[in-house]
Amino acid sequence: MSRRLLAYLLLTHAATLAVAVYALRERPALLIGCEIAVVMSLLFGMSMWRKQATNQTLLRDGTAALRDQDYSLRLREVGVRDLDELIAVYNQLLEQIRSERIGSQRQQFFLGLLIESTTLGVFTMDFDGRLDHVNSWGRRQLDLPPVGTLPQNLRDLSHPLAEALATLEPEERRLLRLPNNQRYRCESASFIDRGFSRRFIVVQNISGELNSAEVAAYGQVIRMMAHEVNNATAATRSMLASLLDTDDLDADAFRVLAKAYLPTVLERGNSTNDFMRRFAEVVRLPDPVLAPVDLAALLRAEAEAYRVTCDDCGITIQLSLKPANVQADPVLLRQVITNALVNACESISATGHEGHILVSCAGTTFEIADDGAGVDAEAQELLFTPFFSTKATGQGIGLTLMRDVLERHGAGYSLMTGGDGWTRLKVELRG
């Protein structure tokens, strides 16, 4: 453009000068004026040519900067309205690109630092599925040097973890357990890079967490078993103690008392043995074995077993039992009733006064209520939470066991203290 403008100016002024010389042969006085006008026109044209060349240089430099991804260059305004508007837009665009580029570089740096410092293994592949990058944690797990060339594929590494990771399918999650008992949570996924999909694998060693969880689970099982044994033997110990305290009874009266107490002691011992055997078989709360159960008879038997204990504490047990038949596991359901009665007795004893326990049932619903210390609003929200207890020496096992048993039965349940001061455990079983 600038060369054509220069050629045009030179040719135009040369032709004009020639015509002026030829035309002014007859009028020599006008020759000087025409020459001055031609020179001034030529100078003006050269100025326009230099400005045009400068503008083209600016545009060429701006284009080269964009091509070289140099976003620090800024163009100066040249005094031409349209071109200055274009330069302003160009500078604004460069500033925006530079800011976004700096932000992207910061994010990439932070992401790279995070990937390198995390306690997760990150394995990325290139577009052809070859191993492209392994972070520091992953290199340590695979016994790779901190820096250096990576093998093309995970299968090329003679390491159990690499061999296991190589079997992962795209978009697959899996828990891997290696021969050395190390356990890893693995996930294979993909991301889009420049319009194409690239695969990556994230690996987490969860051996320590699982070991801690197993230890905690063993402790919970042991505490739960001890809790149930203590509950089951509390009533039998009270009955046996009553049998021993019979110095003022004759032989016939002792036989009558023993005949009343010993079957209950024997039945509760057998029930506890059955529960513990089933518990130990699976090292967890056994699944309920549903069978028809006379709910009223079961509640009466448990209440009678605790009547001696309650009498010693000045607690009166009242029964309001209507015929009720449900589908339940009698051994597990007995544990719920036992825990409810124990909690009611302890709640009343905490007040230091005599109290009452009401055991009732109708249809498929039963209720165990007491007028003891009750449950405050803050503790109400935490009931049935594992290891939470309102008692200073409690372990928070009883309500957890009750919750698990009732939920395995598909039963509805609630435990709360009403406005009348009575605390009620209400359970609705299936018919």
pLDDT tens sequence for the chain (431 residues): 456 656 666 676 676 666 666 655 656 655 566 666 666 766 766 666 666 666 667 667 667 766 766 666 666 666 667 667 777 777 787 778 777 777 777 877 777 777 777 778 888 888 888 888 888 888 888 888 877 777 778 888 888 888 888 888 888 888 887 766 678 889 888 888 888 888 888 888 887 776 666 556 666 666 666 766 777 677 677 777 777 776 666 777 777 777 777 777 777 777 777 666 655 544 457 788 899 999 999 999 989 888 878 888 888 999 999 988 899 999 899 989 988 998 888 889 888 888 999 999 998 999 999 998 887 766 666 666 555 555 544 445 677 778 888 888 888 888 888 888 899 999 999 87
Burial 136-147 (b: 16+ CB within 10 A, else e): bbbbebbebeee
- The H-or-E segment that residue 196 falls in is strand 196-205
Query: Nearest-5° angle of CA 283, CA 393, CA 213?
Result: 35
Region of residue 412 (left: phi > 0; alpha: psi -120 to 50; beta: else): beta
- Half-sphere exposure of residue 169: CA atoms within 13 angstroms, side-chain side: 1
Tokens of 335: 């544990």
pLDDT of residue 281: 42
The span from the CA of 49 to the CA of 35, in Å, is 21
Tokens of 363: 């249809």
